[in-house]
Amino acid sequence: MGFFTKVGDFLGQSKPADFRVVNFWNVQSNAMLTYGIAEHFDATFTTRIYQDVHKANEYNTPGDLFLDVKAGSFSVLNNRINLGGQASFRFPTGDDVNYPFENYTAGSLEFGLKALFSYYNDPFLTHRD
């Protein structure tokens, strides 16, 4: 569950005539399922169960679906460096998109690629008991 709130108020002596105090909130609940496919591969499925919007009595249920496929823990240089990669997909199943303070979405199928990198100064750190 994610939660964020921010009250916007005017700091100073004279407020503009059309100024209004606002309260932004961002509440969402997600459900995730991760499955280890093999030693170096896994997949994570996420669904946004609930996303509150900034309108009275409106919410987005269910939200978008997300799929992440990861390959990682490939060791090089005597276990000092671990490499991996991730492919992410977003399937637009929710009614509303582009909430304040959230990542931008085009409202269509989206994908992204990430490179993963870890460095260990002590190559035996991960193998100590």
The H or E element that residue 7 is part of is: strand 2-8
53 assigned to some structural domain = yes
Question: What's the pLDDT band for 8 if we cut at 50, 70, 90?
Answer: low
* Those residues with Cβ within 8 angstroms of residue 37's Cβ, 6 or more apart along the chain or in another chain: 43
For 64-120, write each residue's pLDDT tens digit. Answer: 899 999 999 999 988 889 999 999 999 988 777 777 667 778 888 999 999 999 998
pTM over 0.85, yes/no: no
120 assigned to some structural domain = yes
- Which is it for strands 59-60 and 22-38: parallel, antiparallel or unpaired? unpaired
66 assigned to some structural domain = yes
Domain count, the chain: 1
Q: Are 51 and 99 in contact (CB under 8 A)?
A: yes
For 24-66, write each residue's pLDDT tens digit. Answer: 677 778 899 999 999 999 999 999 887 776 666 666 777 889 9
56 assigned to some structural domain = yes
8 assigned to some structural domain = no
Q: What is the DSSP letter of 24?
A: E
103 assigned to some structural domain = yes
| Domain of residue 46, residue span | 29-127
2 assigned to some structural domain = no
67 assigned to some structural domain = yes
Please give the torsion angle defined by the CA atoms of residues 29, 66, 55 and 24, in that order, rounded to the nearest 10 degrees.
70
